[in-house]
Amino acid sequence: MGRDRDRPRLHVRPPRGWLNDPNGVARVDGVYHVFFQHNPDSHEHDAITWGHASSPDLLRWTDEPVALRPCPGQPDAVGCWTGCLVDDGGVPTAVYSGVADRSGASSVVLARSDRTLQTWTPDPVVAAGMPADGALEHPVTDVRDPFLFTHEGRRYAVQGAGRRGGVAQVLLYDASDLTAWRLLGPLLTAEDPVAGPAAPADIWECPNLVRVGDRWVLVLSLWALPDGASTVDGDGVLSGVTALVGDLVPDGEGLRFLPAAGGPLDAGPTFYAPQLLVEDHRVLLWGWAWEHGRTSEQVRDAGWAGVLTSPRELRVVGDRAVTAPARELVGLRRERLDASAPLRVDAFEVVGEGAGRLVLVGTGDDQVVLDLPDVGWRLLVDGSLVELFPDGVAVPPTTTRAYPGATGAWIVEGDVDAQAWRLGLPER
């Protein structure tokens, strides 16, 4: 069998199996760790584990052994779903949605490791479950995807929530004791006049809340009824990611998020469930890019599905959250290429200015992959993963997929001034 030119090789993507949401992104003792939803035995979403990759520099990624696996008879018997990683008194602790049966209902479960993050011990305690009847003004049927943050020295947790035809919301918990969360009520609901129009959904998934300078950014992934959005997840639709910029204010025992503005974090058809990592000097994020433009038979034959995006840096400009490739990624640039000629390498970067198009040729029918805006822009392509980052704040990035196969070549068309590089790992 020939080399699979469609499979990205410079991104987090195990050799085989299913991949979706990034989980537990962390930097421990100078090493970056990214976990992710993973079925190592199939290209389909089932029997979900936490896959694991590590890197010293955001350039070279090592595939690590599977970290968390479903435990029969336990709260995660059907799957170890989305969550985060926290330092609990010096102990790296995975905090995630465990699914016990095929109903899909989840509870918050914990697993602990040493600082190598290689061996994990499940905690027998369920930290939080479905809110009791009457605990919320707007009842929910779905609660999932815990994320923890600290505000004024106190540790809190959020989970995404909602119900079909109901009011999407983010629930807030006191997580001072990691093994016994206390529900404080909604941090934000879709009744908010800014959040509702900016993040239309039945359920807000994968909430991430981080401080950026003197503002707070709440990132929400939008689960909605199947009505013209990108891809269906079970009986729901994954319909994009919204970033809300605003402030946290006291509200009784808890907090309330007051958004000032919100907009899409990425404009592409294949971006979802990003997770954020707060460092001393920046905030990093990774998202999930699913397959888009391959048939189910092609995915089955390839034996893999899904890839994580490039690591991106998040910043706030005015009331907008904007992202750009992590600064380290310039270290992937190898020899210069002719940006006006067909590009037949496995991975490349083009930095340019001016309106144009990225076209994939030589695969049977020429395909316009995306339009290049009439501003400065940066384009990263690795296998079938395409990421476009326009300059400024007016246009968000675009993440999409296109499959060169064995014979495809990429062409940058239009009135553009551009330079290009082949991308590859630096020599050790």
The answer on pLDDT for 2 being more than 70 is no
The answer on pLDDT for 15 being more than 60 is yes
Q: Report how far residue 401's alpha carbon sits from residue 45's, in angstroms, rounded to the nearest whole number.
A: 19
Q: Report how far residue 189's alpha carbon sits from residue 418's, in angstroms, rounded to the nearest whole number.
A: 44
The answer on pLDDT for 193 being more than 80 is yes
The answer on pLDDT for 242 being more than 60 is yes
Q: Report how far residue 205's alpha carbon sits from residue 241's, in angstroms, rounded to the nearest whole number.
A: 9
The answer on pLDDT for 138 being more than 80 is yes
* Residue 190: φ, ψ to 5°: -70, -5
CA distances from 414 to 206, 325, 353 (A): 38, 24, 10
Q: Report how far residue 346's alpha carbon sits from residue 395's, in angstroms, rounded to the nearest whole number.
A: 27
Tokens in use for 52?
A: 């694991």
CA distances from 178 to 45, 128, 241 (A): 29, 10, 28
Q: Which residues contact 42 (CB under 8 A, 6 or more apart)?
A: 17, 18
Percent of the chain whose predicted confidence (pLDDT) is above 90: 92
CA Rg value for the chain = 21
Q: Report how far residue 331's alpha carbon sits from residue 190's, in angstroms, rounded to the nearest whole number.
A: 42
Tokens in use for 373?
A: 């805006």
Q: Which among 51, 53, 55, 50 is positioned nearest to 32, based on CA atoms? A: 55
Tokens in use for 210?
A: 């981080």
Tokens in use for 26?
A: 């962390």
Q: How many CB atoms lie within 10 A of CB 374?
A: 15
Ranges of H-type helices in 146-235 = 195-198
Q: Which among 304, 403, 383 is positioned nearest to 20, based on CA atoms? A: 304
The answer on pLDDT for 228 being more than 80 is no
Q: What is the pLDDT of residue 232?
A: 66
Rounded mean pLDDT, 304-314? 98
* Residue 55: φ, ψ to 5°: -155, 140
Q: Report how far residue 29's alpha carbon sits from residue 10's, in angstroms, rounded to the nearest whole number.
A: 23
Phi-psi region of 328 (alpha: psi -120 to 50; beta: other; left: phi over 0): alpha
Q: Report how far residue 177's alpha carbon sits from residue 155's, in angstroms, rounded to the nearest whole number.
A: 9
Tokens in use for 405?
A: 């196969």
Ranges of H-type helices in 161-279 = 195-198
Tokens in use for 94?
A: 């995975």
Q: What is the pLDDT of residue 102?
A: 85
Q: Report how far residue 148's alpha carbon sits from residue 297's, in angstroms, rounded to the nearest whole number.
A: 39
Rounded mean pLDDT, 286-297? 96
Rounded mean pLDDT, 232-249? 89
The answer on pLDDT for 146 being more than 60 is yes
The answer on pLDDT for 72 being more than 90 is yes
Domains of the chain, each with CATH number or no CATH: 17-325 (2.115.10.20), 330-423 (2.60.120.560)
Q: Report how far residue 123's alpha carbon sits from residue 112's, in angstroms, rounded to the nearest whole number.
A: 7
Q: What is the pLDDT of residue 226?
A: 74
Q: What is the pLDDT of residue 225?
A: 77
Percent of the chain whose predicted confidence (pLDDT) is above 70: 97
Tokens in use for 114?
A: 């040493």
What is the average pLDDT score of the chain? Answer: 95
The answer on pLDDT for 58 being more than 70 is yes
pTM of whole model > 0.85?
yes
Q: What is the pLDDT of residue 111?
A: 98
Q: Report how far residue 207's alpha carbon sits from residue 203's, in angstroms, rounded to the nearest whole number.
A: 11
Rounded mean pLDDT, 306-332? 97
Condensed to tens digits (0 to 9), the pLDDT of residues 73-115 reads: 999 999 999 999 999 999 999 999 999 998 888 999 999 999 9
Q: How many CB atoms lie within 10 A of CB 176?
A: 12
